Structure 1
């Protein structure tokens, strides 16, 4: 490792590393959590049938899905939206109109963002699912966001005005309501019980053609593809196209297992990969939106890394230990107040173990603000249980790492470091609270470059010893660890704080 200041640059030893890039993806709420007896009374009365599918015998294979379609079709509606105003940022205006006095002269509102009438209203269409007989409809947030007028066309052809009950951008779900009664409503299935290989039907209104049904199977579970705060998509090869958003994904009993939301496509059309929000997650969000107009989720205030075998060994645990590693504790949060620390390995929450970020993330989200949770951690060779009063999450999720849940294997070689100064902080967008040694250069032909280390990352700790400046970083890496492995704690603007195991044990 080299420094690039004052005594620049003296080559110290090369380090070899496995760099882990992690994503905070999410598992859905479980049916058990939704049905908990201590939940408040729900506002939307829905039908639920959690009987497992018959995957064997005569009913497992069907010659025709016509009976299922006849049962489902009346509950899937077309949602048409009209946007009559456009949001304009002051930065988009010509320079002379950025002056508030000139904007008032031309009759434009003050502020950083304002609305202007559109010359031609924008119109769009999606789908929705009737989930209660008194007119509650589930759809996607992206279908109705910014809409000035929403109209719902029923299977009978009747069109009714709809109002937004609530939206949840974190899951891309929305609840709208029409003034009607005795409507055909879909029954919810337990989406936690579906399996890869189950046959499913997608019902919606693609391309504005009118109601269309496609069939396929569940291709995968637990997908995270859209960059939402909470994702646990069902992947299916049932054809989903533009306009299907907000429509129903149903099983062969005609029960709702998901809300069709997105496709993965290079052409913009169907290519065999579609995604649906699981019905358990949709039902939980729907009930909160209908009851409170918003979704309240539990909050700890920590950044997390998956506990890889390499990290487990560095923290004195067996390589196969199940848990999640705390890489950062935010200030003035429930976690900090309770005494959680970076370097703690979370082994269990309220007695239940979690081995992935997505599992733990939704476990915390499912806890009620104000509720006391017992968090079992491993710290400095000992297990301890810490009681935390769960907070309420507001706004964007800053408590969990938004990186990819996978590892890029490689080496850390030829890295130059420098002291942080105001110029470098501005250049790399580094907050004043971040202290350590700044990586300013990485040889692009080195294994460290291939592993993902880049200029702008800040080394905070080496082998759990604080790094205050470039000299500390060089000194702490001059001597090899007995096993050839070094534990780094690093910060980057993109991924926040995470742990990296530097492995020199394979060097010749």
Structure 2
């Protein structure tokens, strides 16, 4: 046998041995120890650990309330007085929801609509013990409430920072859907900063596809660290059940509301005294702003913090205390959550320049902060969009009738010709036109002079409609 043949035999033998050892290792080694499966198994293990840690702080809330229907003819005449029922029928209605323990001495955070008008509230803990609860404070504007049970040494879940959430993050929803206690569902963050949903007055919702159903309301939405990053509040559904879209109040907002309710029994909100509207790309162009973000001030309340600070109508707020403002709902929440008496810096754009103005936060006296949706109508013709519009001078005696302030100035729309360019702009009878192309309008004479100077088919005007002031681009 030649040396070459011997070498080939030895090499073949070694390759066979190596292949045999490899096959034996793959067959006998448990699959979970192979690195490719490690990344799948570890998150699953961590989810179960999160549930074990957080579930004891989640409670079931059952309520009983008295419901009364209007009296019917049958109620009134079923028996003669004194047996007649002039108040209508009454009955007890029971409902269920969820909550999360926020302090070890018995404070529980839930939704306002869970405990609204409740005659009796019962809280059932993870260990199935049930206690009667009392309402400490409730806030319908954010749909949050704090109730309390007389128990000590309760488990409390930690809070997370909802400002750090990213779309796509894993989350768990824990609650009692349909009375099925401590149900856990998993999903991701679908979106953040959802406003104009129509659920509450102050909205900054987290949107998630984690299954949320009736009974989940008030329960926590937690991240993979086991921290509360939201309070489950509502679902978007055509059937009443889960359809992949749920909303939760972000933890940073919920904590502020919770602390205020526990300390004050109510929510103390900040106020600066402005009316604003969202900035569109078209409005940004007309205000000579390169980047279309921010909100436009359409009115400043006299003797308000904004008035004292020097803010003016037409200013565009770019930042509030270092935070970028991209829409009016964000500014509304930031102002409301500011501490009364604190000083905040507003970065504004005015007449081509950027300024910083300091404002001292006051307490909200009423819902004076208003946000106006931008209205814009378009058509194909390139005529003067004010053609066909008839106006008269505004008099203080008209203020009550059109919802304006007696100190306002402008002209009132009293007639719009059918089929005219003005009919397609969105203007209405009774609108008070206060500015045209950033120029104040004091009288019908000013109005006529202003429109004679206009050579373009889209006009920027400031309208007062029923007391709400907003900028509007009129296009023919």
Once the two structures are overlaid, the 10-residue window that deviates more, 210-219 or 116-125, is 116-125
Alignment-derived partner of residue 269 in structure 2: 297
Aligned counterpart for 2:439 among listed residues 465, 471, 493: 465
Classify 1:133/1:62 alpha carbon distance in 2 versus 1 (closer, same or farther; 3 Å): same
| 2:182 maps to 1:208 | no
Q: Of the candidates 165, 183, 187, which is equivalent to residue 136 of structure 2?
A: 165
Contact 1:241-1:270 at 8 Å conserved across structures:
yes
Alignment correspondent of 2:412: 438
Shift of 1:284: 1.8
How do residues 49-198 of structure 1 correspond to structure 2 at under 5 angstroms? Answer: 57=39, 61-62=43-44, 65-84=47-66, 119-198=90-169
Deviation of 1:424 after TM superposition, in Å, equals 7.7
In the TM superposition, residue 73 of structure 1 has moved relative to its aligned partner by: 2.4
**Structure-2 residue corresponding to 1:488:** 461
Map Cα deviations across residues 71-94 of structure 1 (whole Å, 9 max, x no partner). 332222111222247699xxx999
Could you say what secondary structure the match of 2:94 adopts? strand
- Measured on the aligned residues, the alpha-carbon RMSD in Å equals 3.6
Which digits, 9 at most, give the CA deviation of each residue in 1:262-290, with x for residues without a partner?
Answer: 11122222221110111121112112211
- Quote the residue 2:225 is aligned against: 253
State how far apart, in whole Å, the 2-side matches of 1:200 and 1:236 are: 8
- Which of 287, 291, 307 aligns to 2:259? It is 287
Q: Give the superposition deviation at 1:117.
A: 10
Largest Rg, 1 or 2: 2
407-416 or 253-262, larger mean C-alpha shift = 407-416
What's the CA shift string for 1:159-188, capped at 9, x where partnerless?
A: 101111111222111111111122222222
* Conserved? CA contact 1:444–1:450, under 8 Å: no
Query: How far apart are residue 393 of structure 1 and its match?
Result: 0.9
Q: TM-score, normalised by structure 2?
A: 0.77
Q: Report if aligned partners of 2:388, 2:420 keep a CA contact under 8 Å in 1.
A: no
1:298-345 Cα offsets, whole Å, 9 max, x none, are 211001123444434433x44226543211011231222333221223
**Contact 2:298–2:314 (CA<8 Å) still a contact in 1?**
yes
On the 8 A contact 2:67/2:91 being kept in 1, the answer is no
Is the contact between residue 81 and residue 125 of structure 1 (CA under 8 Å) also seen in structure 2?
A: yes
Per-residue CA distance 1:360-394 (angstroms, 9 max, x = gap) = 33332333222233444444455544433221113
- Does residue 327 of structure 2 align to residue 356 of structure 1? yes
Q: Distance in 1 between matches of 2:437 and 2:246?
A: 44
Within the alignment, does 1:418 sit opposite 2:388 as a pair?
Answer: no
Q: Pick the aligned partner of 1:497 from 446, 460, 469.
A: 469
- Which whole-Å CA distance do the structure 1 matches of 2:314 and 2:349 have between them? 9
Unpaired stretches in structure 1, ≥5 consecutive residues: 1-55, 95-105, 107-115
SS of the residue corresponding to residue 281 of structure 1 reads helix
Q: For residues 188 and 450 of structure 1, do their structure 2 counterparts lie closer, same or farther at Cα, with a shift above 3 Å needed?
A: farther
* CA offset digits 1:135-170 (Å, max 9, x no partner): 111101111122222111122222101111111222
The verdict on how the C-alpha distance between 1:58 and 1:387 changes in structure 2, with shifts beyond 3 A counting, is same
Pair 1:389-2:360 in alignment: yes
- Is 1:477 aligned to 2:459, yes or no? no
Q: Is 1:217 equivalent to 2:188 in the alignment?
A: yes
Specify whether residues 442 and 72 from structure 1 end up closer, same or farther in structure 2 by C-alpha distance, changes over 3 A only. Answer: farther
Partner of 2:19: none
Change (3 A) 1:166 1:159: same
CA distance in 2, matches of 1:343, 1:243: 46
Q: Distance in 2 between matches of 1:445 and 1:311?
A: 26
Q: 1:292-331 counterparts in 2 under 5 A? A: 292-315=264-287, 317-320=288-291, 322-331=293-302
Higher helix share: 2
Say whether the 8 Å CA contact 2:69–2:88 is kept in structure 1.
Answer: no
**Counterpart position of 1:240:** 212
Aligned to 1:11: none
Map of 2:369 onto structure 1: 399
Residues 1:336 and 2:330 aligned together? no
Separation in 1, partners of 2:434, 2:238 = 40
Please give the alpha-carbon distance, in whole angstroms, between the structure 2 residues aligned to 1:265 and 1:446. Answer: 42
Q: Check whether the contact 2:110–2:146 (CA below 8 A) recurs between aligned residues.
A: yes
Superposed displacement of residue 433, structure 1 = 4.7
The count of residues paired between Structure 1 and Structure 2 equals 422
Cα distance 1:347–1:74, how it changes in 2: closer, same or farther (>3 A)? closer
Deviations 1:412-457 (A, max 9, x none): 5655333357998677555545543334566787887666444443
Work out the CA distance in 1 between the residues paired with 2:388 and 2:200: 34
TM-score under structure 1 normalisation? 0.72
1:101 aligned partner:
none
Match of 2:5 in 1: none
Query: CA separation in 1, counterparts of 2:417 and 2:217?
Result: 45
Distance between the aligned counterparts of 2:267 and 2:184, measured in 1?
Answer: 31
Contact between 1:301 and 1:399, CA under 8 Å: does it hold in 2? yes
| 2:173–2:212 contact (8 Å) kept in structure 1 | yes
**Paired residue secondary structure (1:311):** helix
CA distance in 1, matches of 2:104, 2:254: 17
Aligned pair partner of 1:268 in 240, 244, 266: 240
